[in-house]
């Protein structure tokens, strides 16, 4: 039996635990080697990684004490969802070019090949059906794991099942051009709602109006007072707030909710890198207006295939080429550098 | 036709708008007169008030700008739910001995007379079936009105429909010996839950354990750290938090919720009299644990008659005698002076 070829394997390794905003210096690129064959006697699968997903929640795992799942270890490759190709015997998850997967049962075969493969890191990631999920054991049951893999299904189930849109509802989406926001806005339009999004640049605002079909949008960085922007764009108030931002944005928007409004608490990116969370003062509105606030981190129902396959939903991805660019892409999420779902393309096939 | 008898009519009148904690001096007793016959040509009903309900939400209507409903006018009688008897032709609602009701269609006939009449101001107040509601028009649609009238139905629908208790669930009730808390605790036991309550005196704690069947209870005033008390009484965490207090209590309890926990936001008595609301810092837990927080102020479904009629639910009322005692009873709510549902008995029949 011929010896297996050994090739270089670049990885993004955690250099130090993160406090505050993550920086590129918290990570480093390390070049290791990998045998292109699964070691003899090992039940495993060797994956060539094609796309890796880049998501805000990874910040939590870079801290010394992670709240969501197992923290990343210093000196080890970061881990997240992705799409890959089986080389030797299926589970691309390490932030590395190749990954040896010893729990192949956790790999999910991709069934639909009529859309870009990259969509399977996000909008089409119908976990547990189609997605390959993290190799490392989680502190919580598997269905507690979350991240990019939730972009599609969770945007769908969060908006539809928690938001319960009715035709004519007024919908506000924060961080609306992001991986999740762009999908939610389009689902809202399909449901017959009036939808307004906020984003952090004029380019993104333009994208919301022209590409994703939002009825209105504003650049929150140019609005000294969110309340004024909301009153201008949504003078009748808000029935559904799909929130990716949290903190002051959530607090101000609560006051603008209508009776029996629904807040889908999907993300709080404003709160991830700060030591002292923002003090929310408008919670009493929840009682005054009989508002439901529901946190989403669970894939409640895998909806295998939906509007995207019928071409009803447009997806914008922000893809950087090469694993060397991964740390900057991850850091860029927190300053809103990305336009749409952030991905790292590792290899062509 | 003989002239109708004219009798004195004592009322509790608003003397000045309230800021901060209400005081007895914000109200005064005024003696007016009333004819015991409805004035000729007027479509109205004359009611002799028997019981008036005394509820925290009245504080809001005493402020210069009321958030919930029409504010009380200076010099006019306070208004709330009650039980009364028709003298001349039907709607006891004014904080006065007699009330002339010009919209008799808003009166609700009491159908069940096998329980104390006073229960109809609270636990049995099955609005819109059995309850007499406020005479004044509300700023919002009628189903937005709330107060004592919600004690029974809303405790029931809030706990059952929002809390969705399952046998074995861990339930925490704040202000548990109050009008709503005592009912919720008993409903939780009927549903097979393990239920813990907090209250502000050892007497109330004892009542929770001996009279209302709570599995455990603690005096929050003796607990320097709520988190420690919760960990001791509910080491496995909380599935349902029925909250009457809000603020720091809600913030601390959020951290102790279990995955997919439900928070029934029923009241925030800690926040009613303060200028700057407490800054809630633990909202991110909502996402981490996929928690649902739902505000209750609406009578969603009138459940006409339930466990109380079968003798399954015990009710403790704190009844003061005479309308002169009404201002002190109302003020006492905010220092936890009342034990159970606070009522004012006006007349025997």
Q: Could you tell me if A219 and A321 lie in one domain? A: no
Are A31 and A16 a contacting pair, CB within 8 Å? no
Of the candidates A266, A251, A231, the residue with the CA atom closest to the CA atom of residue A160: A266
CATH label of the domain that carries residue A135: 3.90.180.10
Of the candidates A11, A9, A41, A12, the residue with the CA atom closest to the CA atom of residue A24: A12
Q: Could you tell me if B249 and B323 lie in one domain? A: no
- Asked if A65 is an interface residue toward chain B (Cβ–Cβ < 8 A), one would say no
- Prediction ipTM score: 0.73
Question: Which residue in the block uniquely carries the two structure tokens 């009748």?
Answer: A236
Which positions in chain A touch B67 (Cβ < 8 Å)? 288
CA distance B297 to A302: 34
Q: Could you tell me if A172 and A287 lie in one domain? A: yes
Structure tokens given for A214:
């939002």
Task: Label residue B124 by pLDDT band (50, 70, 90).
Answer: low
Instruction: Using the 3D structure, point to which of B276, B295, B314 is the last residue of a domain.
Output: B295
A309 part of a folded domain: no
Nearest by CB to B295, which of A68, A291, A294?
Answer: A291
Q: Which residues pair with A94 in a beta bridge?
A: A79
Of the candidates B323, B275, B238, the residue with the CA atom closest to the CA atom of residue B27: B323
Q: Mean pLDDT over all residues of chain B?
A: 78
Q: What is the DSSP string of A11-58?
A: EEEE-S---SS--GGGEEEEEEEEESSPPTT---EEEEEEEEE--TTH
Q: Which residues pair with B101 in a beta bridge?
A: B45
Please tell me which residue of chain A has the smallest CA distance to B287.
A295
B168 part of a folded domain: yes
Q: Could you tell me if A277 and A182 lie in one domain? A: yes
Which positions in chain B touch A277 (Cβ < 8 Å)? 281-284
DSSP code of B336?
A: T
Q: Could you tell me if B131 and B215 lie in one domain? A: no
Nearest by CB to A246, which of B68, B246, B284?
Answer: B284
Specify the pLDDT at position A145: 27
What's the alpha-carbon Rg for chain B, to the nearest Å? 20
Q: What is the DSSP string of A73-86?
A: PTTSB-B--EEEEE
Give me the helix-helix angle, A226-233 and A247-254, nearest 10°.
Answer: 50
Residues of chain A with pLDDT under 50: 90-92, 126-148, 299-309
Specify the pLDDT at position A47: 75
User: CA torsion sign, A76 to A82 to A85 to A89?
Assistant: positive
Q: What is the mean pLDDT of residues B326-345?
A: 83
Structure tokens given for A240:
């559904």
CA distance B160 to B155: 8
Give the pairing type, strands A292-295 and A216-219. Answer: unpaired
Structure tokens given for A318:
């922000």
Specify the pLDDT at position A228: 97
B160 versus B310: which is more confidently predicted?
B160
Task: Label residue B307 by pLDDT band (50, 70, 90).
Answer: very low
Specify the pLDDT at position B208: 95
Q: Could you tell me if A218 and A335 lie in one domain? A: no
A302 part of a folded domain: no
Specify the pLDDT at position A317: 81
Q: What is the mean pLDDT of residues B175-203?
A: 92
Specify the pLDDT at position B105: 55
C-alpha triplet B281, B230, B215: angle, nearest 5°: 140
Please tell me which residue of chain B has the smallest CA distance to A243.
B287
> Total structural domains in chain B?
2
Count of alpha carbons within 13 Å of B201, Cβ hemisphere only?
Answer: 11
Count of alpha carbons within 13 Å of B271, Cβ hemisphere only?
Answer: 26
CATH label of the domain that carries residue B208: 3.40.50.720
Give the pairing type, strands B238-243 and B257-265. Answer: parallel
User: CA torsion sign, A137 to A138 to A144 to A145?
Assistant: negative
B300 part of a folded domain: no
Q: Could you tell me if A163 and A140 lie in one domain? A: no
Which positions in chain B touch A295 (Cβ < 8 Å)? 285-292
Per-residue pLDDT tens over the stretch B55-89: 777 888 888 877 666 788 898 888 777 777 777 76
Structure tokens given for A53:
């997903």
CA distance A168 to A165: 8
B302 versus B139: which is more confidently predicted?
B302
Q: Is the peptide bond before A128 cis (omega within 30 degrees of 0)?
A: yes
Count of alpha carbons within 13 Å of B202, Cβ hemisphere only?
Answer: 1
A81 part of a folded domain: yes
Q: Could you tell me if B268 and B193 lie in one domain? A: yes
Count of alpha carbons within 13 Å of A134, Cβ hemisphere only?
Answer: 27
Q: Could you tell me if A104 and A165 lie in one domain? A: no
Q: Is the peptide bond before A190 cis (omega within 30 degrees of 0)?
A: no
Q: How far is CA B195 from CA A2, B10, B190, B268, B341, in A?
A: 67, 43, 11, 20, 20
Specify the pLDDT at position B132: 31
Do B281 and A286 count as a contact with CB atoms less than 8 A apart?
Answer: no
Q: What is the DSSP string of B104-150?
A: GGG-------SS-GGGGGTTT--TTTS-B--SSPPSS-GGG--SGGG
Give the pairing type, strands B194-199 and B216-219. Answer: parallel
CA distance A254 to chain B (A): 12
B1 part of a folded domain: no
Specify the pLDDT at position B130: 31
Of the candidates A175, A164, A177, the residue with the CA atom closest to the CA atom of residue A292: A164
B206 part of a folded domain: yes
Nearest by CB to A268, which of B278, B287, B291?
Answer: B287
A307 part of a folded domain: no
B303 versus B250: which is more confidently predicted?
B250
Are B45 and B104 a contacting pair, CB within 8 Å? yes
C-alpha triplet B246, B247, B248: angle, nearest 5°: 120
Q: Could you tell me if A105 and A218 lie in one domain? A: no
Specify the pLDDT at position A293: 96
Which positions in chain A touch B250 (Cβ < 8 Å)? 283
Structure tokens given for A262:
């629904």
Count of alpha carbons within 13 Å of B27, Cβ hemisphere only?
Answer: 28
Specify the pLDDT at position A246: 94
CA distance B109 to B90: 8
User: CA torsion sign, B253 to B254 to B258 to B264?
Assistant: positive
Please, which residues 290-309 of chain A have a Cβ atom closer than 8 Å to chain B?
A: 290-298
Please, which residues 134-153 of chain A have a Cβ atom closer than 8 Å to chain B?
A: 140, 144
CA distance B285 to B217: 25
Do A280 and B279 count as a contact with CB atoms less than 8 A apart?
Answer: yes
Domain range for residue A30?
Answer: 6-146+314-345
Contacts of B40 (CB under 8 A, 6+ apart): none
Q: What is the mean pLDDT of residues B42-55?
A: 76
CA distance A261 to A162: 11
Q: Which residues pair with A142 in a beta bridge?
A: none
Q: Could you tell me if A228 and A113 lie in one domain? A: no
Which positions in chain B touch A250 (Cβ < 8 Å)? 283
Of the candidates B63, B76, B53, B54, the residue with the CA atom closest to the CA atom of residue B22: B63
Which positions in chain A touch B68 (Cβ < 8 Å)? 288
Do B277 and A276 count as a contact with CB atoms less than 8 A apart?
Answer: no
Please tell me which residue of chain A has the smallest CA distance to B272.
A284
Q: In 3-state terms, what secondary structure has residue B238?
A: strand
Specify the pLDDT at position A131: 32
- Could you give the residue ranges of the DSSP H alpha helices within A86-150? none
Q: Could you tell me if A133 and A167 lie in one domain? A: no
Strands of chain B, DSSP E: 6-14, 27-35, 45-53, 82-86, 98-101, 170-173, 194-199, 216-219, 238-243, 257-265, 292-295, 317-321, 341-345
């Amino acid at each position: 039996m011929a010896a297996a070829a050994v090739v270089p394997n670049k990885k993004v390794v955690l250099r130090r635990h993160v406090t505050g905003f993550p920086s590129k210096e918290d990570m480093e690129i390390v070049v290791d080697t990998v045998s292109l064959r699964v070691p003899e006697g090992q039940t495993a699968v060797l994956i060539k990684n094609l796309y890796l997903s880049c998501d805000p929640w990874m910040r939590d795992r870079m801290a010394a004490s992670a709240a969501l799942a197992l923290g990343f270890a210093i000196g080890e490759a970061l881990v997240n969802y992705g799409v890959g190709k089986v080389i030797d015997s299926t589970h691309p998850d390490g932030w590395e070019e190749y990954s040896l997967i010893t729990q192949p049962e956790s790999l999910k075969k991709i069934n639909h090949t009529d859309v870009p493969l990259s969509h399977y890191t996000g909008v089409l990631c119908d976990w547990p059906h189609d997605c390959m999920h993290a190799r490392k054991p989680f502190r919580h049951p598997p269905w507690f794991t979350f991240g990019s893999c939730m972009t599609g299904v969770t945007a769908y189930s969060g908006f539809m099942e928690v938001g319960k849109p009715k035709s004519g509802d007024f919908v506000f989406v924060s961080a609306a051009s992001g991986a999740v926001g762009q999908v939610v806005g389009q689902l809202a339009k399909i449901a017959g709602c009036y939808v307004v999004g906020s984003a952090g640049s004029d380019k993104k605002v333009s994208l919301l109006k022209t590409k994703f079909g939002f009825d209105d949008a504003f650049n929150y960085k140019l609005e000294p007072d969110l309340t004024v922007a909301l009153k201008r764009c949504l003078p009748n108030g808000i029935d559904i707030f799909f929130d990716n931002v949290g903190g002051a944005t959530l607090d101000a928007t609560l006051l603008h909710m209508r009776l029996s409004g629904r807040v889908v608490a999907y993300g709080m990116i404003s709160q991830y890198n700060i030591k002292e969370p923002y003090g929310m003062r408008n919670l009493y509105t929840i009682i005054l207006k009989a508002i439901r606030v529901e946190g989403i981190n669970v894939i409640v129902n895998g909806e295998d295939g939906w509007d995207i396959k019928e071409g009803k939903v447009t997806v914008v991805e922000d893809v950087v080429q090469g694993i060397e660019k991964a740390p900057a892409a991850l850091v860029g999420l927190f300053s809103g550098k990305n336009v749409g779902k952030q991905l790292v393309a590792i290899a062509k096939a």
